[in-house]
A and B are shown apart, each in its own frame.
Chain A
């Protein structure tokens, strides 16, 4: 049957969310002839409609529905209702993302065995290994058209990269290049080549950057097996007496509640919304929420150990020109506890426009120490720190006791405290980043605190044993056979690398598994 699919069609796979995980899974299933209804809370904006303006783009794409925060992280003080900077639109955060596409390292799938038990950290080995994921990483790199893989040339280095590279050479770093980027350095897969516009975070108006919005979704739709329903906010997943899920209740564009029946439900709303939905789907049979017999739904929230370093030079840089994140140093990504922490971090070029720089350089800061920094905006270079943070049970998503959204669904509270390992890593990275810029003549550097989270991970973790986590190695709920988690909330631990390539690889692998299980009639 061709789309649109009937609400009572209980043969479809319902996917909640159209971002990296959901968008990829939907296309992969559609390619295999499986009917998919994709519910997406946000609107559909095609890439021509993106806006080269930070706040206007934020208003167009970002998730601004209310959330609350708690914990000792600075975001809770500076942005109490904006714990995360992610997207509510068709394409999800792959509209905003910068395109850095890295594989995890082998040891990052085995953190408990490698790092050992750490106080206050809920480390666990993934139920899969790098070797098992490698074939899927290869498929994902081809799908995304990742530079420096598949004989795709690297992007040319912009000014910001050149400063980073000069500093990396001075510090003796060996692995510094323009990155493995899901951004075309030459036309490929019906996507343009990058024009160095410098608004990667605002959605690429050239379509040079991979996004499920214009890569996966139209391909899936062309098969006649994928229907995307924008402005459809999933509120609750229903189940029957046997404990299988049967459909998804969602609010449509007019706020009317509807139920889409389903043979399989895959949750891919990103790591705040996915556990929120599972928790909100509690029933008398599952009083703690769906798939939550382990009690782990919503726990182990990770956001990567991040921070930025900006440096001011006596001569102009114009860091905002060109690809935002095409520049990386990988030397610190190794696990080397002699630095005073386990795990590692990447250093990647980063630039914000003046409006976001003012908001994020030192939130709450004022006076000349702040403004003299901005005065030299065009003499600034910038880098982002992205490192492995420790999963902690206390860092978690819960349903707010009183505050509800427009549909009457309790909003998510995001609690986060840094682990001592996170703080040690961040301080190390601040020192290295500052030293790097000083080596090329920076007259001042800024250890800039983490922004609202762009990488949200771990809240429905994968585990070998049902008691330790929410889903198995295929992202299938331990408790409910026809319920899947398909986004970054599956991550057992976070690795040092930007997560999207891994999310996409897992989704490709999950699609194979789901198709296999469906044809074997086991789900």
Chain B
């Protein structure tokens, strides 16, 4: 059973509360839950363990990733995988940890009382992102996503991209010229 709490920005959260905190997803209704050092999606049966970044930071990063490259048909899981690299890098490089933690704290600060994830509409969150889009923090997150999100083989079918084709004999007999509507 998951206890649902009011969403609070990371910099305001008391340690006790941050253990189990709901992060309300902007208007959509899917829920990410923080438990221990993990971000969990109870609905979709996946979780992400963090080791260097705070799990709350990771949850906000996931929302931020979706707001940067919003694809409504792509589940959170792939955004989570895409930003996971920041946790790994933060573990090796204190400067990177600082960049991300401070970046997220700043994002929350700029977002007002409920923090970034407390902003209900994508437009509201995007407005905050526009404000910081030239910062190294934003560029690090956005830049990492280009490969981190779109180079996941699992997301390719969602976009209709079929990937590797040599082992299937190319498209010679698989529709290289099957267009019919012209």
The secondary structure that dominates the A interface is: loop
Q: Mark A353-379, 1 if CB is under 8 A from B, else 0.
A: 111011100001011101100110111
A366 touches B69 (CB 8 A): yes
Q: For residue A471, give the distance in angstroms from its CB to the closest CB of chain B.
A: 40
Residue of A196, A315, A374, A440 with most chain B CB atoms under a 10 A cut-off: A196
**C-alpha gap A350/B111 in the complex (Å):** 42
**C-alpha gap A375/B155 in the complex (Å):** 11
B68 touches A366 (CB 8 A): yes
B178 touches A366 (CB 8 A): no
Residue of A198, A205, A355, A440 with most chain B CB atoms under a 10 A cut-off: A355
B69 touches A371 (CB 8 A): yes
B160 touches A52 (CB 8 A): no
Residue of A194, A354, A374, A375 with most chain B CB atoms under a 10 A cut-off: A354
Given contacts A52-B165, A162-B179, contact A355 B69 (CB under 8 A): no
Select one of A163, A166, A198, A440 contacting B165, CB under 8 A. Answer: A198
Given contacts A195-B169, A321-B175, contact A55 B126 (CB under 8 A): no
A316 touches B165 (CB 8 A): no
Given contacts A158-B177, A321-B174, A322-B177, contact A377 B166 (CB under 8 A): no
A195 touches B170 (CB 8 A): yes
Q: For residue B90, give the distance in angstroms from its CB to the closest CB of chain A.
A: 22
B135 CB–A CB distance under 8 Å = no
**C-alpha gap A379/B181 in the complex (Å):** 12
A166 touches B159 (CB 8 A): no
A159 touches B161 (CB 8 A): no
**C-alpha gap A355/B182 in the complex (Å):** 27
Q: Which of B123-176 contact A (CB under 8 A)?
A: 126, 133, 142, 146-147, 149-151, 155-156, 159-167, 169-172, 174-176
Interface size class of A (residues with CB under 8 A): 35 or more
**C-alpha gap A370/B70 in the complex (Å):** 9
Q: Which of A163-198 contact B (CB under 8 A)?
A: 163, 166, 194-198
B176 touches A322 (CB 8 A): yes
A201 CB–B CB distance under 8 Å = no
B102 CB–A CB distance under 8 Å = no
Nearest opposing residue in chain B for A161, CB measure: B177
B171 touches A358 (CB 8 A): no
Q: Mark B69-98, 1 if CB is under 8 A from A, else 0.
A: 111010000000000000000000000000
Select one of A316, A353, A357, A366 contacting B163, CB under 8 A. Answer: A353
* Count, A-B residue pairs, CB within 8 A: 113
List the B side residues contacting A316 at CB < 8 Å: 160, 179
**C-alpha gap A378/B73 in the complex (Å):** 15
B160 touches A378 (CB 8 A): yes
A55 touches B151 (CB 8 A): yes
List the B side residues contacting A355 at CB < 8 Å: 147, 150-151
B71 touches A52 (CB 8 A): no
List the A side residues contacting B177 at CB < 8 Å: 156-159, 162, 322
List the A side residues contacting B73 at CB < 8 Å: 375
List the A side residues contacting B151 at CB < 8 Å: 55, 355
A320 touches B169 (CB 8 A): no
Select one of A197, A366, A375 contacting B170, CB under 8 A. Answer: A197
Select one of B142, B147, B165 contacting A199, CB under 8 A. Answer: B165
A317 CB–B CB distance under 8 Å = yes
Select one of B147, B166, B174, B176 contacting A52, CB under 8 A. Answer: B166
Interface size on B, residues (CB 8 A): 36
**C-alpha gap A197/B164 in the complex (Å):** 8
Select one of A197, A320, A440 contacting B166, CB under 8 A. Answer: A197
**C-alpha gap A353/B126 in the complex (Å):** 28
Q: For residue B144, give the distance in angstroms from its CB to the closest CB of chain A.
A: 12
Q: Mark A312-330, 1 if CB is under 8 A from B, else 0.
A: 0001111011100000000
**C-alpha gap A159/B171 in the complex (Å):** 11
Nearest opposing residue in chain A for B142, CB measure: A366
**C-alpha gap A97/B70 in the complex (Å):** 33
Nearest opposing residue in chain B for A166, CB measure: B182
List the A side residues contacting B181 at CB < 8 Å: 315
Select one of A206, A317, A353, A368 contacting B70, CB under 8 A. Answer: A368
**C-alpha gap A353/B164 in the complex (Å):** 10
B164 touches A375 (CB 8 A): no
**C-alpha gap A485/B134 in the complex (Å):** 43
**C-alpha gap A195/B169 in the complex (Å):** 7
Select one of B150, B164, B174, B182 contacting A358, CB under 8 A. Answer: B150
List the B side residues contacting A357 at CB < 8 Å: 150
Residue of B149, B156, B159, B182 with most chain A CB atoms under a 10 A cut-off: B182
A72 CB–B CB distance under 8 Å = no
Select one of B161, B163, B165, B176 contacting A158, CB under 8 A. Answer: B176
A374 touches B159 (CB 8 A): yes
Nearest opposing residue in chain B for A374, CB measure: B159
B147 touches A367 (CB 8 A): no
**C-alpha gap A15/B165 in the complex (Å):** 36
**C-alpha gap A253/B145 in the complex (Å):** 34
A367 touches B70 (CB 8 A): yes
Q: For residue B125, give the distance in angstroms from its CB to the closest CB of chain A.
A: 11
Nearest opposing residue in chain B for A53, CB measure: B164
Q: Which of B46-73 contact A (CB under 8 A)?
A: 68-71, 73
Given contacts A52-B166, A196-B170, A370-B69, contact A377 B146 (CB under 8 A): no
Nearest opposing residue in chain A for B164, CB measure: A52
List the B side residues contacting A205 at CB < 8 Å: 166
Q: List 26 A-B contacts (CB under 8 A).
A: A52-B163, A52-B164, A52-B165, A52-B166, A52-B167, A53-B163, A55-B151, A156-B177, A157-B177, A159-B177, A197-B165, A205-B166, A318-B178, A321-B165, A321-B175, A321-B176, A322-B177, A354-B161, A355-B151, A358-B146, A358-B150, A364-B142, A366-B69, A367-B126, A375-B159, A378-B161
> 11 additional contacts, CB 8 Å, given A364-B142, A378-B161?
A52-B163, A53-B163, A156-B176, A318-B175, A322-B177, A354-B155, A355-B147, A366-B69, A367-B68, A371-B71, A377-B159
Please report A residues at the B interface, Cβ cutoff 8 Å: 52-53, 55, 156-159, 162-163, 166, 194-199, 205-206, 315-318, 320-322, 353-355, 357-359, 364, 366-368, 370-371, 374-375, 377-379, 440
The 10 A-B pairs at the shortest CB distance, nearest first, are namely A378-B160, A195-B170, A322-B176, A197-B170, A358-B150, A354-B161, A196-B176, A321-B171, A52-B164, A159-B179
